Amino acid sequence: MALHHGRSSLVLHCWNLEREPARGGLHHANHGCRGGRRVLSPPADYPLAARALGCVARSDRARQRCAWLASKGKPQSRSRLSASGRANRNDVVSTAGGALDRFVEAQASSYASALGEIRRGAKRSHWMWFIFPQLVGLGRSETAGFYGIQSIAEARSYLAHPVLGPRYLECVAALQDLPTSDPVPVFGEIDAMKLRSSLTLFEAAGAGSLTGAALDRWFGKRDDRTLALLATS
């Protein structure tokens, strides 16, 4: 996603948005998008803060993301959060309609394909943020911030959720059924690190022996940064 600073509003180029379904559906109301696509006008019922940023969402999930950005007052930097930013990670607001709705809605159109890719041992599409979420503050992108788990309490709520909890364990079980124990060929180097962070978080949240066994098999250790963040939260 191309984030342009120095403008009075947030510019979201649809060329990159179209490449990732979880990020799709945002246009800028004042500037044209790449590819000659028509720019929409903000609907009358759109949140005022989001209208001020000039964002228009074509789906409920995209509207939530845009409203979340608007509530922050400015686009998220792609640089890694500072120590003070990590310390204040609980100040990041959750989306309206339930703190975990962002995951339910993101998985609605992608969970089946994500599970299939795990079972085939080859991740091909973009779903890591909301299938294996990690603590907010570990990722660099706005998307990582949006789907970042705010605290150990939210991680426990995630596991207790009637949809999200069973799905998380189902994905870990599918991972354990693979004949390999090297996460890089399955996920790629960066997403393999995200997986370790996620498993470390949810093991600490009480996911049970399955996540611990997966950590031992695939990584042989827990994620130190996740443990450090949990220790200071």
Segment 172-210, tens digit of pLDDT: 999 999 999 999 999 999 999 999 999 999 999 999 999
Which residues of the chain does CATH 1.25.40.380 include? 83-232
Query: How many angstroms separate the CA atoms of 194 and 156, rounded?
Result: 18
The answer, yes or no, to whether residue 101 has pLDDT greater than 70, is yes
* CATH superfamily, with its number, for domain 83-232: Protein of unknown function DUF1810 (1.25.40.380)
Query: How many angstroms separate the CA atoms of 187 and 145, rounded?
Result: 20
Q: Name the phi and psi angles at 55, rounded to 5.
A: -90, 140
Q: What is the DSSP string of 110-129?
A: THHHHHHHHHHT---SS-HH
Query: How many angstroms separate the CA atoms of 19 and 21, rounded?
Result: 7
Model confidence pTM above 0.75: no
**pLDDT-based confidence at residue 220 (cuts at 50, 70, 90):** very high
Q: What is the pLDDT of residues 115-156, one digit of tens each?
A: 999 999 999 999 999 999 999 999 888 999 999 999 999 999
Structure tokens at 56: 């228009």
Task: Tell me the residue type at 27.
Answer: H
